[in-house]
Structure 1
């Protein structure tokens, strides 16, 4: 794993905490009866509210942001909003295991994008680790995949959402080198929330008429998978590359599938348990061997 700075906290602790946190996301979405875009909007706006008391410290930094910085921040926010909308919608059509398993393709998209945009190359061992982890993740959700009906629609939505979050991660890797992680998170969450608000207004969804239980789920979505998941991962971009951070999603199928089994009654079998161990092994191999190299740019 390539690092330009040394983290004050062991990276495995941050990765583990983040994976556990994001694993709850699909459970809260499944439990909510509100429109997906409304859940996503309040997830982000509530996160902004939780962060607001400390954002005054970043006012001087905000004033120094360039027009290019704002352009990339807005692009990253739009990509994140699109990810949440597509992935959360997929959970209404397919199982937690199937939807979260497709998110494991994120590191592949990020590796490809990092090579094309930043000329980053990794090692053969790291690629082997990613392939093993993705194969294992596919085993976890294999029984849920379908070639017809609503399950296929859900799988496609999850796949498109994965591509969107890869764009978000690549932009975040560039911005986090000179922008504070909390400021970056606050701005992109706000931009994504505004996108949701526009979408909800266009579709005439109610902004207020929801039960106490729904408001509780909106808050949980903000507090658990967003604050302790996405914000932690955005912070990690200061210490590791986007591909390494993206590899954390490879652990989500394990956590989400176990939680869905315990809380939602979705089934789990021995193949998925075995695949979980292989997935952990693949992630470990990737993180141990992802030493980034840069190809020299050709003169034009």
Structure 2
């Protein structure tokens, strides 16, 4: 198999970081209710993936009636909760703070693994000492950043709470998604997940009387940019780069979305991050990076231990004991 040229990997990572960084500024820019934007970005992505799911992947789609399909649906429910909380937080508060708070997803994944050990094998087990140190740093950073917002307005505090709830929902979404992805392709999984998410958000919008159409051209352009950028292109480029770089590297690079989104919001929307919140946001990002690196170290140690156990066991792989 031909090796991916290094410059293509660097280009893919650059495009991916810019694409995901544009998500929050585009949401803030769109002159439409956040729930409607969330619906349209998932519905359009679902429609874009349907020809592939109905064609080359149709045999795999039939397997969604199994437990794998249930995991896809549960992941879609969690994704809907993520979008229904985080996207309004971007429009209610600042792009920089909302993006930083939702980036705490790995922290909540670590806490989920500690609280539910039966799920911990998916993420490499409960947090190690280094992982707990990273969680502590992130929590201090969150307290610092949100404490600044308490003195700003009640709306800013609501935005912070919604962003944190969005991060928690994203952790649950990832947990169910990893279960589904154990046997499903990325295309089939995302098609089912986005479809579930779009259906739920549509129901919420209709019940709440959210305006779904009648937007100006710039809002529709922002929605399409969200679909092409953050929803499809960003994650696709990260997946492409995984041929040459580790998942840990990708996870840490995704944290560049925090300063990237802040810079885009400053240059494009005129949102200047509050100076007193910057140390807290920086500490939060460092804490999350430590959590990611600690998780990678724990998974590497677990893999090494399993390899040593297999080498010491004369029973052929796959046979019963």
TM-score where L is the length of structure 2: 0.74
Shift of 1:37: 1.0
- State the partner residue of 1:283: 289
SS for the counterpart of 2:150 is coil
Segments of 5+ residues of structure 1 without an aligned counterpart are 1-6
Segments of 5+ residues of structure 2 without an aligned counterpart are 306-321
Pick from 157, 171, 176: which aligns with 2:176?
171
Pick from 220, 223, 226: which aligns with 2:225?
220
Which is further off, 230-239 or 36-45? 230-239
Shift of 1:123: 5.1
- State the partner residue of 2:39: 41
- State the partner residue of 2:316: none
Cα distance in 1 between the residues matched to 2:210 and 2:266: 31
Cα distance in 1 between the residues matched to 2:175 and 2:237: 16
Shift of 1:272: 3.9
- State the partner residue of 2:110: 111
Q: In 2 relative to 1, CA 265–137 (structure 1 residues): closer, same or farther, beyond 3 Å?
A: farther
Instruction: Work out whether 1:185 is the aligned partner of 2:190.
Output: yes
SS for the counterpart of 1:179 is coil
- State the partner residue of 2:150: 146
- Report if aligned partners of 1:182, 1:235 keep a CA contact under 8 Å in 2: no
Q: In 2 relative to 1, CA 270–102 (structure 1 residues): closer, same or farther, beyond 3 Å?
A: closer
- State the partner residue of 2:265: 260
Shift of 1:104: 2.5
1:33-84 C-alpha deviation (Å, 9 max, x unpaired):
2111111111111112332333311101111334211111111001001101
- State the partner residue of 1:199: 204
Cα distance in 2 between the residues matched to 1:30 and 1:228: 20
Q: In 2 relative to 1, CA 165–232 (structure 1 residues): closer, same or farther, beyond 3 Å?
A: farther
Shift of 1:97: 1.4
1:172-221 C-alpha deviation (Å, 9 max, x unpaired):
11211211011111111111111111111112233332222221111111
Cα distance in 1 between the residues matched to 2:39 and 2:237: 20
RMSD: 3.8
1:104-124 C-alpha deviation (Å, 9 max, x unpaired):
221111122234313433654
- Report if aligned partners of 1:104, 1:137 keep a CA contact under 8 Å in 2: no
1:3-55 C-alpha deviation (Å, 9 max, x unpaired):
xxxx9687877655433222111111111121111111111111123323333
- Report if aligned partners of 1:83, 1:162 keep a CA contact under 8 Å in 2: yes
1:131-151 C-alpha deviation (Å, 9 max, x unpaired):
667767877x56852265111
